[in-house]
Structure 1
């Protein structure tokens, strides 16, 4: 189980990303439309840089829905590998089959 502080930090980042999503997107569009090295582009870049760092979507990290584990996550299920395996063995995930060879 991940520490609760790390899970809360990730929730805070997700909330900030949603809050500043439109501002970030419009700034990037305006930067791409502006002519290179113009004053308008510099102002837009400055506005983009003034946004909080944690509002950037690249700082988000997927975590396991049950344990909060940051590694070995499967996007389809939102679970980490060992939890997914346990649930498949317990027949809790429909359509998932165990492999044996």
Structure 2
């Protein structure tokens, strides 16, 4: 499980990206890279990292469900994900 400070930093970055998205798009369209450089570095979507919504784990992230592989497995075994079941052959 990720530390709370890491999760908080990720939330802060996501808020900044959302706040500056329109401004960044317009500056890029105009080609004004000097003004684009003056925006906060954390406003760039490249700096985001996919993290599990439950634990904050960065690795083993399943994009379709928004959680890590560990949480996904737990939910699947508990039957909390409709249509998902353990394979057997």
Q: Tell me which interval the TM-score lies in, with the shorter structure as reference length.
A: over 0.9
Q: Tell me by how many angstroms 1:87 deviates.
A: 1.0
Give the distance between the partners of 1:76 and 1:100, measured in 2 at CA.
23
Give the distance between the partners of 2:18 and 2:54, measured in 1 at CA.
23
Match of 1:94 among 79, 82, 85: 82
SS of equivalent to 1:84: helix
- Would you say 1:11 and 2:11 are equivalent positions? yes
Q: Tell me by how many angstroms 1:45 deviates.
A: 1.0
Match of 1:80 among 68, 84, 87: 68
Partner of 1:47: 35
Q: Which has the larger radius of gyration?
A: 1
TM score, norm. by length of structure 2:
0.94
The alignment yields a C-alpha RMSD, in angstroms, of 0.9
Instruction: Name the count of aligned residue pairs.
Output: 89
| Superimposed CA distance per residue, residues 19-76 of structure 1 (whole angstroms, 9 cap, x where no aligned partner) | 1111100011111xxxxxxxxxxxx111000011000001111111111101111111
